[in-house]
Amino acid sequence: MKEKNKLGLGFLLNLLGIVLGISLTFGVSSLYQNREEKNRVKEMLTLVRNELQTNKTWFKQQESMMRKDSYVYKKLLEAKGNWAAIPKDTLEAYRYQTTYLEFDQLTASAWQIFQNAETTQKMKDKELLIRLVNCYFWINKTHDLIMAEYWNEKTAAIPPEIDLYKYFDALLESKRAVFFFTNMSDENFINWNLFPHIDAIIDYTTALLDEHGDYKYDMAEKDKELQAFIDARIESVNKK
């Protein structure tokens, strides 16, 4: 009888050891998997952060280009075809400015990869996800406005490469070009605040990326914080 009890106890101990071993194995595996998922999310967010900074630079380049164009268009309209009153080298610079169309493309490839990754669904930082979605919404919206209302119109306004003076004559003979130049040279027509607005949103989202996982959130309070951040950025730009 005692022998049977020993065998039974040995069996139970072996079974318990097997169960504990399996549980430990799965536990360690789960911890390892969770750690790997966190690492993958962190790596992807690093790519997204770098992409946001690239797009931030893109918008600054676009604003700089548009402001230069605005200045040139205003000068051309003021000249009213009296090109002799403008130094030839200045006219050459004006023609270069009006025909310059090279620019880097906006990019959202890192964001697209991040969106499609399974690890995204397991992120606990919901505010960060919300802000990233909002940020890329404004990036794409602003990009579309610039492309449709600026670059497409600028491209359409450019006449063929001809004699310098005839080139500018052709510009001012084009109703579409004059309309575009008039709008672009009007400070009240162009919403220049769009640029500090998108710049502020990118900076705010980048700050959240840098603090990833170290904050609690209240969307109502965070919305106030974001709006205050944007307002301060626009106010500082308008004071310059």
pLDDT of residue 216: 44
The predicted-structure confidence for 45-98, as pLDDT tens digits, reads as follows 888 888 999 899 999 999 999 999 999 999 999 998 899 899 999 999 999 999
The predicted-structure confidence for 175-218, as pLDDT tens digits, reads as follows 999 999 998 888 777 788 889 999 999 999 988 888 764 434 45
The predicted-structure confidence for 208-236, as pLDDT tens digits, reads as follows 888 764 434 455 566 778 788 888 888 88
pLDDT of residue 119: 66
- pLDDT at residue 18 above 70? no
pLDDT of residue 68: 92
Asked if 58 and 142 touch (Cβ cutoff 8 Å), the reply is no
The predicted-structure confidence for 95-147, as pLDDT tens digits, reads as follows 999 998 876 778 888 888 888 777 666 667 777 888 888 999 999 999 988 88
Contacts of 35 (CB under 8 A, 6+ apart): none
How far is C-alpha 129 from the geometric centre of its chain's CA atoms? Answer: 14
Read off the pTM.
0.73
pLDDT of residue 129: 83
Q: Of all helices (H) and strands (E), which one includes residue 77?
A: helix 2-79
Dihedral sign for Cα 24, 26, 28, 34, please: negative
pLDDT of residue 214: 40
CA distance 221 to 236: 23
Task: Give the pLDDT mean for 4-33.
Answer: 58
pLDDT of residue 70: 92
- pLDDT at residue 2 above 60? no
Lowest mean pLDDT among 10-14, 168-172, 212-216: 212-216
Question: Any idea what DSSP says for residue 1?
Answer: -
Contacts of 239 (CB under 8 A, 6+ apart): none
- Cα–Cα nearest to 196, from 240, 144, 148, 130: 240
pLDDT of residue 112: 86
Residue 88 to residues 84, 131, 216, Cα–Cα distance (Å): 8, 50, 61
